[in-house]
Amino acid sequence: MTYEIPKKVQTLGEDIQRSELKYHDREVLVSKEFTFDSAHHLHCYEGKCKSLHGHTYKLQVVMRGKVDDRGITIDFADIKRIAKERIIDRLDHRYLNEVLPPMNTTAENMVVWMYEQLRDALRSEGLFPAVRLEEVRLWETPTSYAAVTARLMGDGPA
């Protein structure tokens, strides 16, 4: 297979019309992943996590919606901005027991709090109901995660 350098960059209004930008009318899932480092310890737990320790957490945010007239559900930059403002900036390089609401800082508790933060942001920015939060996953280690979905949170079909 040979590859050629394009001779002309596609121009809106000439090579493609605005009405052609939207290819379909289906819902799609759009996802972005983040990492952050934090310290915590668990209460009422007998094991290593009883002691103060840290993790490099991985957060995956999955949103759902139909594409707009440009073929975009939600801009990846908007997902990044919302997650950064509502979660990452508040938790990165912090002691979770101090900055989260009163809770045992388990992945299971934290992922529900994160879901609520993201869902509330979509609503306050007027993006909901066109864009809905579908799933949030929080990896505490590369092989262990907790997740919640819209259905589990009562925000989606049963």
Q: What is the pLDDT along the chain (158 residues), one digit of tens a residue?
A: 889 999 899 999 999 999 999 999 999 999 999 999 999 999 999 999 999 999 999 999 999 999 999 999 999 999 999 999 999 999 999 999 999 999 999 999 999 999 999 999 999 999 999 999 999 999 999 999 999 999 999 997 65
Q: What is the pLDDT of residue 158?
A: 57
Catalytic member of 40, 55, 135, 140: 140
DSSP H or E stretch at residue 76: helix 76-83
Return the closest-CA partner of residue 114 out of 74, 73, 145, 76. Answer: 145
pTM equals 0.93
User: Is 98 assigned a catalytic role?
Assistant: no
Catalytic member of 4, 24, 46, 93: 93
Catalytic member of 49, 53, 116, 135: 49
Q: What is the pLDDT of residue 1?
A: 86
**Residue 71 to residue 25: CA distance in whole angstroms:** 9
One-letter identity of residue 116: E
Length of the chain: 158
Q: What is the pLDDT of residue 156?
A: 76
User: Is 125 assigned a catalytic role?
Assistant: no
Q: Given CA atoms 88, 140, 59, 128 in this order, what sign does their dihedral have?
A: negative
User: Is 44 assigned a catalytic role?
Assistant: no
